[in-house]
C-alpha cells in the first residue's frame, strides 16, 4: 500500500515537472520589433514578445538576419491591412536568414541546424525567432553570408515571377529592365542573363557601372535618355503589346506591361517607382 502511494506520488511529481516545463516553453519570450498600431517608423517597438511555436508544417528558425523591403513600410502603415489581411499586434519582416531550431512533425526536408533563407508570407522576421513552412524556406547558398542571404528572397521572387512566370522569358529574347540597379532590378538582370536573354537596363548615372557588372548588355542612364511611349513604338510592337495586355486607362501611361516578346513597355514606369512586378500585377488585373 505504502509502495503504491509512493509510486503514485512520484508519478504526480513527474507529471507536474513536465507540465511546468511545458508551461515554461509556452511562456518562452524573445526580443522582437512589434507594431501595436499602424503608422510611421515610430510605431516600431523593440520589446519582449512570445516566441512562436512551430505548427506541424512549420520550422522554428533562429533569425540571424532579416531583410527590409518597401512592402514592410506599407504593411506598417496599415494602408493595405485589408488587402494583406494583417491584424495587430504584428511583427514585420518577410525576408529572413538563419538556422533551423526545431521542426514540426510534418516537416521532411528541413532539420534542426540547417542554414536556411526564407520568404515568410505572414511576416515575423524582425525577431529572434520566426516560423517558416517548407515552401517558404530553402538551404542558404554557401556563397552568401546570412546578411546577404536575407536580402534575396522577396526581390528575387518578384523578379522571377515577372520574368519567368509571367513573361516566360527564354534564350534569345530581349528584355528591358527599368530600375536595374534596385533590389528587384538587380535580381532581374541576373535572372534574365542566366536565361540567355539580351538585357537592356536603366539606372541613374552613378549606377551605370553596376548595371554592367550585373551583366546588362546595354545600359541606359534615365537621367539623360527619355523613353519611348507606346505610341512611339513600331506598329508591330504596338499591336503585340496591345494584344498582350489591355492596361487600365488610368495606369496606361504609368505602368507598362510585359509583352510576350518580353519587352517592358513603359515611359513613366520606373519614374513612378513601379517595376516589372507591378506591371505584371497590372497585366493580371486588367486581363
Ligand atoms: N523589393 C521588393 O522585394 C519588391 C517586391 C515587390 C514590388 N516591389 C516594388 O518594386 C519597386 C522597386 O523596388 P526595389 O526594392 O527594387 O526599389 P529600389 O531598390 O529602391 O530600386 C529603385 C530603382 O528605381 C530606379 N529609379 C529611381 N528613381 C528613378 C527615376 N526617377 N527614373 C527611373 N528610375 C528610377 C533606381 O535607380 P537609381 O538607384 O540608379 O537611381 C533603382 O534602380 C518599388 O515600387 C517596390 O514597391 C519591390
- Verify that 101 and 217 share a domain, yes or no: no
The rounded Å distance from CA 11 to ligand 1 centre is 62
The span from the CA of 142 to the CA of 121, in Å, is 24
- Verify that 39 and 136 share a domain, yes or no: yes
Last residue of a domain, one of 104, 136, 151: 151
To test ligand 1's pocket by mutation, which of 72, 163, 184, 216 has the most ligand atoms within 8 angstroms of CB?
184
Question: CATH number of the domain that 44 lies in?
Answer: 3.90.180.10
Phi-psi region of 264 (alpha: psi -120 to 50; beta: other; left: phi over 0): beta
Question: CATH number of the domain that 163 lies in?
Answer: 3.40.50.720
DSSP state of 58: E
pLDDT at residue number 84: 87
| Interval 262-283: pLDDT, tens | 222 233 233 233 333 333 333 2
* Residue the block writes with cell 492596361: 247
| Interval 33-86: pLDDT, tens | 999 999 999 999 999 999 999 999 999 999 999 999 999 999 999 998 999 899
* Total domains present in the chain: 2
pLDDT at residue number 162: 97
Helix (H, G, I), strand (E, B) or coil at 7: helix
- Verify that 119 and 146 share a domain, yes or no: yes
The rounded Å distance from CA 182 to ligand 1 centre is 5
**Residue 15 resides in a domain:** no
Of the two residues 280 and 140, the one the predictor is more confident about is 140
**Residue 18 resides in a domain:** no
- Verify that 110 and 166 share a domain, yes or no: no
pLDDT, average across residues 209-236: 79
Residue 287 has pLDDT above 90, yes or no: no
The span from the CA of 152 to the CA of 138, in Å, is 12
Q: Is the dihedral of CA 59, 63, 69, 71 positive or negative?
A: positive
- Verify that 141 and 184 share a domain, yes or no: no
Determine which residue's CA is closest to atom 3 belonging to ligand 1.
155
- For residue 210, give the ligand 1 atom closest to its CA: 40
The span from the CA of 237 to the CA of 126, in Å, is 45
Helix (H) or strand (E) segment spanning residue 84: helix 81-84
**Residue 96 resides in a domain:** yes
- Verify that 68 and 158 share a domain, yes or no: no
Residue 249 has pLDDT above 70, yes or no: no
Do 33 and 126 touch, CB atoms closer than 8 A?
Answer: yes
Instruction: Report strand pairing: 137-139 vs 174-177.
Output: unpaired
Ligand 1 pocket: which residues have CB below 6 Å?
A: 69-71, 154-155, 158, 179-185, 203-204, 207, 222, 270-271, 273-275, 277
Residue 214 has pLDDT above 80, yes or no: yes
Helix (H) or strand (E) segment spanning residue 145: none
pLDDT at residue number 225: 86
Domain of 78, in residue numbers = 29-151
Do 274 and 255 touch, CB atoms closer than 8 A?
Answer: yes
pLDDT, average across residues 130-155: 97
The span from the CA of 115 to the CA of 107, in Å, is 15
To test ligand 1's pocket by mutation, which of 182, 200, 276, 281 has the most ligand atoms within 8 angstroms of CB?
182
**Residue 123 resides in a domain:** yes
Do 74 and 80 touch, CB atoms closer than 8 A?
Answer: yes
Determine which residue's CA is closest to atom 21 belonging to ligand 1.
182
E strand map for 28-173: 29-35, 44-50, 58-67, 95-103, 115-119, 129-133, 137-139
To test ligand 1's pocket by mutation, which of 69, 70, 177, 205 has the most ligand atoms within 8 angstroms of CB?
70
**Residue 13 resides in a domain:** no
**Residue 22 resides in a domain:** no
The span from the CA of 148 to the CA of 95, in Å, is 11
Determine which residue's CA is closest to atom 28 belonging to ligand 1.
271
Cis, bond preceding 89 (omega within 30 deg of 0) = yes
Percent of the chain with pLDDT over 70: 70
**Residue 3 resides in a domain:** no
Determine which residue's CA is closest to atom 4 belonging to ligand 1.
155
The rounded Å distance from CA 60 to ligand 1 centre is 32
DSSP state of 265: E
| Interval 101-115: pLDDT, tens | 999 999 999 999 999
pTM tops 0.85, yes or no:
no
The rounded Å distance from CA 88 to ligand 1 centre is 28
Measure Cα distances from 250 to 71, 80, 120, 274 in Å: 23, 20, 33, 14
Contacts of 283 (CB under 8 A, 6+ apart): 166, 244, 245, 247, 257, 258
**Residue 14 resides in a domain:** no
Amino acid at each position: 500500500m505504502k509502495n503504491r502511494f509512493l509510486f503514485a506520488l512520484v508519478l504526480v511529481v513527474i507529471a507536474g515537472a513536465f507540465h511546468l516545463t511545458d508551461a515554461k516553453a509556452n511562456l518562452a519570450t524573445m526580443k522582437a520589433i512589434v507594431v501595436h498600431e499602424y503608422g510611421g517608423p515610430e510605431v516600431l517597438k523593440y520589446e519582449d514578445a512570445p516566441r512562436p511555436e512551430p505548427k506541424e508544417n512549420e520550422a522554428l528558425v533562429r533569425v540571424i538576419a532579416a531583410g527590409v523591403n518597401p512592402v514592410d513600410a506599407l504593411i506598417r502603415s496599415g494602408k493595405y491591412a485589408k488587402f494583406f489581411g494583417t491584424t495587430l499586434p504584428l511583427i514585420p519582416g518577410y525576408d529572413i536568414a538563419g538556422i533551423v531550431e526545431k521542426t514540426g512533425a510534418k516537416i521532411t526536408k528541413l532539420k534542426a541546424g540547417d542554414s536556411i533563407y526564407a520568404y515568410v508570407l505572414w511576416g515575423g522576421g524582425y525577431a529572434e525567432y520566426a516560423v517558416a513552412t517548407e515552401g517558404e524556406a530553402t538551404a542558404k547558398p554557401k556563397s552568401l553570408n546570412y546578411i546577404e542571404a536575407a536580402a534575396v528572397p522577396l526581390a528575387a521572387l518578384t523578379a522571377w515571377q515577372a520574368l519567368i512566370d509571367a513573361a516566360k522569358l527564354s534564350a534569345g529574347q530581349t528584355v528591358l529592365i527599368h530600375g536595374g540597379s534596385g533590389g528587384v532590378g538587380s535580381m532581374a538582370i541576373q535572372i534574365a542573363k542566366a536565361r540567355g536573354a539580351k538585357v537592356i537596363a536603366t539606372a541613374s548615372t552613378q549606377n551605370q557601372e553596376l548595371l554592367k557588372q550585373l551583366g546588362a548588355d546595354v545600359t541606359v542612364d534615365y537621367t539623360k535618355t527619355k523613353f519611348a511611349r507606346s505610341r512611339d513604338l513600331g506598329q508591330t510592337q504596338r499591336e503585340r503589346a496591345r494584344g498582350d495586355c489591355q492596361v487600365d486607362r488610368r495606369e496606361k501611361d504609368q505602368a507598362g506591361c510585359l509583352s510576350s516578346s518580353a519587352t517592358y513597355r513603359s515611359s513613366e514606369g520606373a519614374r513612378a517607382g513601379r517595376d516589372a512586378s507591378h506591371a505584371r500585377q497590372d497585366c493580371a488585373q486588367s486581363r
